[in-house]
């Protein structure tokens, strides 16, 4: 696996094929925890941790357990099992090490279990038949792209708090419009060829 | 088939074991009192304590941020149970509160200005169009926003189109108070029976035009109240419940029946003949002239006239007057 290919995966996953702005996966935390920059960063970190490790583990499980037994059709179920236990583990870790972050993330932390971004990337890794390193790097890069999107959004929303928005657009409506504009901006990357 | 079953079960076992180990290694000890308090609480998650649900309240109580007596639905018994769990000896027991809908303007008393022809019939929506479809703009719209928000199923919309609280079920959580777009529902001490059941801040003429049973701010209750607990604010009689003794004279004198009373359930007094010395003190203080009798002879109570206010009871020097339930 050449380094240039890995670099290509990283740039593609973060910018060109951004998980939120181009693939529209994992939108729930994107709107749910982007009210404050600090909680957005915490959520991003949790997703980076879960996605990277789940990409690695799901690859191992797929290649050494599911493929030899010809049980690829069980991918979805097994991957969810892996992700769910990982999220539980992360929840324990955060609750112990950063109780305030745990409070701020609230219900969105256990919701990573059902976050389609996490499951989606694990499944995409399999369909693109990446190797172990490529799959892990793809997971990490996608999660970084997710965090970038969350931080951008949180930054804008914190500024939006102080701006004069028409009454009917206050709250979620203006957030949806902002998200749409951001997605259009990210479309600019799609012209890049790597 | 068998392989897949074994595989999934095996994976589940491995992950379960790993999580169990992690929970032991990384888990934090939670105060076991929190769980116990959650069990004691009603579990309605009504938010009347000011915290986000029963679990949050239990957490805050254990941390010492919240007071033990804040749970309104639970009332006295829950407050005591929490205090016992915490090992606190003294707690103030708060008054039991109930919600009352301060409007009696049903379909017979008011007129509908227009027909609300929308899919979702709700008070909040009706209010958007000319303050609602009722002829009184302060009145209960009767589309049941409060009914949908009541966690205890204590509010009903009557056939006459007005919200009524079942005081046996109401626990005073105040969810309806916050929901009502007209702000008609208020919490009050359940012991206090008399309430001005009108919310109209219009002048008498307009108030009466909108609703037959409106408070017209005539001030008769003001004059008659022996505890001077009633004031007029914004063309509306307001009872100060700190002063109100619950005598019910205001309800009796109200010309439009805007002050609610349960005359049937009222107490009445009885004079014990063997104790009465015939001093006529009770006769003099009775606001409704319900006591008859001559000086130095035992007095009698005319049951039909007695409103059970108990003013005579306090005036009697020999404690010959007792309150009775009808």
**pLDDT tens digit string along B48-61?**
888 888 888 888 88
Give the mean pLDDT of A37-48: 86
Contact A118, A83 (CB under 8 A): yes
A186 found inside a domain? no
Rounded Cα gap, residues B27 and B42, in angstroms: 28
pLDDT above 80 for A1: no
Query: What pTM was estimated for this model as a whole?
Result: 0.54
Question: Could you list the residue range(s) of the whole structural domain that residue A106 is in?
Answer: 6-163
The verdict on A81 touching B (C-beta cutoff 8 Å) is yes
A182 found inside a domain? no
A142 found inside a domain? yes
Q: How far is CA A80 from the centre of its chain?
A: 15
Q: What Rg do the C-alpha atoms of chain B give, in angstroms?
A: 28
The pLDDT confidence band at residue A177, using thresholds 50, 70 and 90, is very high
Contact B310, B266 (CB under 8 A): no
Name the residue with higher pLDDT: B284 or A157: A157
* Chains A–B, number of C-beta pairs less than 8 Å apart: 40
pLDDT above 90 for A146: yes
Rounded Cα gap, residues B323 and A151, in angstroms: 71
A59 found inside a domain? yes
pLDDT above 60 for A82: yes
A150 found inside a domain? yes
For B7, half-sphere exposure in the C-beta direction (CA atoms, 13 angstrom radius) is 21
The predicted-structure confidence for A91-118, as pLDDT tens digits, reads as follows 888 888 888 878 777 777 787 877 888 8
CB atoms within 10 A of CB B49: 23
Going along chain B from its start, the domains and CATH numbers come out as 31-94 (1.10.15.40), 97-188 (3.30.70.20), 192-261 (3.30.70.20), 266-325 (3.30.70.20)
Contact B280, B299 (CB under 8 A): yes
Q: State residue A89's pLDDT score.
A: 87
Q: State residue A157's pLDDT score.
A: 92
The C-alpha of A89 sits at a distance from chain B's nearest C-alpha, in angstroms, of 7
The verdict on B128 touching A (C-beta cutoff 8 Å) is no
A1 found inside a domain? no
Strands B267-271 and B259-260: unpaired
DSSP state of B96: P
CB atoms B12 and A93 under 8 Å: no
Rounded Cα gap, residues B116 and B132, in angstroms: 9
As a whole number, the mean pLDDT across chain A is 88
Find residue B105's DSSP bridge partners: none
Least CB–CB distance from A71: residue in B7, B16, B22: B7
Least CB–CB distance from B26: residue in A61, A77, A93: A93
Q: Which of A85, A86, A96, A97 is best to mutate for the B interface (most B CBs within 10 A)?
A: A85
CB atoms B7 and A81 under 8 Å: no
Q: What are phi and psi of B163, to 5 degrees?
A: -80, 135
Rounded Cα gap, residues A120 and A116, in angstroms: 5
pLDDT in tens, chain B (326 residues): 788 889 889 989 999 999 999 888 887 777 788 888 888 888 888 888 888 888 888 888 888 888 888 888 887 888 888 888 888 766 777 777 888 899 888 888 888 888 888 777 889 888 888 888 888 889 899 899 999 988 888 999 988 888 988 888 888 888 899 899 989 998 888 778 788 888 888 888 888 888 888 898 888 888 888 888 899 988 899 998 888 887 778 888 888 888 876 544 556 788 888 888 888 888 888 877 788 888 888 888 887 778 777 788 878 888 888 877 65
* 3-state secondary structure at position A76: helix
Query: How many angstroms separate the Cα of B38 from the Cα of each of B45, B101, B120, B171, B276?
Result: 11, 31, 36, 18, 55
A179 found inside a domain? no
Percent of chain A with pLDDT over 70: 98
Counted domains in chain A: 1
Q: State residue A58's pLDDT score.
A: 92
CB atoms B3 and A71 under 8 Å: yes
CB atoms within 10 A of CB B141: 28
Q: Which residue, chain included where needed, has tokens 């729930």?
A: A28
């Amino acid at each position: 696996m050449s380094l240039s290919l890995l670099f290509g995966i990283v740039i593609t996953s973060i910018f060109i094929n951004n998980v939120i702005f181009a693939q529209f996966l994992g939108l729930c935390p994107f709107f749910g925890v982007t009210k404050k920059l600090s909680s957005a960063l915490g959520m991003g970190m949790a997703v980076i941790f879960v996605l990277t490790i789940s990409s690695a583990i799901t690859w191992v499980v797929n290649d050494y357990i599911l493929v030899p037994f010809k049980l690829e059709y069980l991918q979805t179920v097994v991957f969810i099992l892996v992700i769910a236990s990982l999220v539980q583990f992360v929840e324990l870790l955060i609750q112990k090490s950063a109780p305030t972050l745990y409070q701020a993330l609230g219900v969105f932390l256990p919701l990573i279990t059902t976050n389609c971004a996490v499951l989606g990337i694990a499944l995409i890794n399999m369909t693109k038949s990446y190797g172990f390193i490529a799959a892990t790097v793809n997971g990490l890069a996608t999660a970084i792209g997710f965090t970038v999107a969350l931080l951008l959004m949180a930054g804008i929303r914190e500024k939006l708090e102080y701006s004069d928005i028409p009454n009917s657009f206050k709250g979620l409506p203006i957030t949806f419009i902002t998200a749409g504009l951001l997605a259009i901006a990210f479309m600019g990357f799609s012209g890049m060829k790597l | 088939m068998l392989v897949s079953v074994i595989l999934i079960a095996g994976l589940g076992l491995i992950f379960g074991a790993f999580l169990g180990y992690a929970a032991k290694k990384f888990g934090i000890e939670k105060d076991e009192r929190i769980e116990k308090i959650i069990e004691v609480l009603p579990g309605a998650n009504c938010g009347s304590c000011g915290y986000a649900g029963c679990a949050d309240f239990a957490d805050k109580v254990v941390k010492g941020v919240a007071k033990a007596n804040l749970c309104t639905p639970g009332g006295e018994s829950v407050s005591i149970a929490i205090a016992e769990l915490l090992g606190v000896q003294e707690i103030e027991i708060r008054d039991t509160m109930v919600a009352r809908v301060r409007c009696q303007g049903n379909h017979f008393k008011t007129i509908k200005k227009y027909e609300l022809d929308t899919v979702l019939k709700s008070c909040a929506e009706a209010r958007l169009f000319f303050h609602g479809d009722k002829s009184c703009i302060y009145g209960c719209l009767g589309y049941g926003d409060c009914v949908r928000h009541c966690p205890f199923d204590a509010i009903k919309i009557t056939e006459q189109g007005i919200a009524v609280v079942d005081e046996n079920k109401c626990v005073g959580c105040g969810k309806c108070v916050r929901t009502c777009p007209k702000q008609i529902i208020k919490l009050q001490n359940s012991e206090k029976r008399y309430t001005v059941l009108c919310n109209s801040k219009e002048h008498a003429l307009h108030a009466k035009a909108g609703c037959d049973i409106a408070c017209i701010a005539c001030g008769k209750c003001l004059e008659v109240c022996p505890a001077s607990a009633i004031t007029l604010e914004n063309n509306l009689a307001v009872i100060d419940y700190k002063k109100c003794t619950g005598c019910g004279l205001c309800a009796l004198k109200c010309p439009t029946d805007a002050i609610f009373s349960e005359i049937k359930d009222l107490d009445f007094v009885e004079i014990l003949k063997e104790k009465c010395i015939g001093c006529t003190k009770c006769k003099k203080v009775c606001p409704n002239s319900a006591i008859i009798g001559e000086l130095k002879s035992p007095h009698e109570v005319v049951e039909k006239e007695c409103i059970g206010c108990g003013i005579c009871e306090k005036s009697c020097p020999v404690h010959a007057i007792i309150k009775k339930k009808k």
